[in-house]
């Protein structure tokens, strides 16, 4: 079986929510690493209005096989009606880093949230 890693992106309105989602995903072995960006400005269309809001971007490194579980966990924790949850394949990278993702996510978690 080919090891397929992905990068999932989601945004949150607060740093607190971003940290909560990140910690749960890592604790439950659904993500090897989650980076949280400093606040950024997002401009988007919502309900026929142009909106501009401060958001925090989460970059989630995980296995492709875990996408649905990660998606469902984010949907369960998120405050948005329609949160951004998109995934991109990681087609290349440091072989040692990519292997670390797989080793990290293969370990059994002793604690569940």
Please give the distance of CA 19 from its chain centroid, rounded to a whole number.
11
d(CA 41, CA 68) in angstroms, rounded, equals 28
- Position 108 confidence tier, pLDDT thresholds 50, 70, 90: low
Q: Average pLDDT for residues 14-30, to the nearest whole number? A: 98
Nearest to 70 by CA among 15, 8, 3, 112: 8
- Residue range 73-104, pLDDT digits in tens: 999 999 999 999 999 999 999 999 999 999 99
Confidence at residue 112, expressed as pLDDT on a 0 to 100 scale: 44
Confidence at residue 68, expressed as pLDDT on a 0 to 100 scale: 98
Pick the CATH number of 5-106 from 3.40.50.300, 3.40.50.40, 3.30.565.10, 3.30.70.120: 3.30.70.120
Q: Average pLDDT for residues 31-56, to the nearest whole number? A: 97
SS (H, E, C) 11-46: EECCHHHHHHHHHHHHHCCCCCEEEECCCEEEEEEE
The two beta strands, 40-46 and 49-63, are antiparallel
Give CA angle at 75 (67, 105), nearest 5°.
35
pLDDT at 24 over 50: yes
Q: What is the largest CA-CA distance in the chain?
A: 46
Backbone φ, ψ for residue 26 (5° rounding): -70, -45
């Amino acid at each position: 079986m080919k090891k397929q890693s992905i990068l999932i992106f989601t945004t949150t309105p607060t740093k607190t929510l971003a940290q909560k989602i990140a910690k749960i995903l890592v604790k439950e072995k659904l993500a090897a690493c989650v980076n949280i960006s400093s606040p950024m400005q997002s401009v988007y269309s919502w309900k026929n209005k142009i909106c501009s809001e401060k958001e925090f971007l989460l970059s989630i490194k995980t296995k492709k096989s875990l996408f649905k579980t990660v998606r469902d966990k984010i949907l369960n924790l998120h405050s948005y009606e329609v949160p951004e949850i998109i995934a991109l394949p990681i087609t290349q990278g440091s072989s040692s880093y990519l292997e670390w993702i797989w080793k990290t996510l293969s370990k059994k978690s002793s604690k569940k949230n």
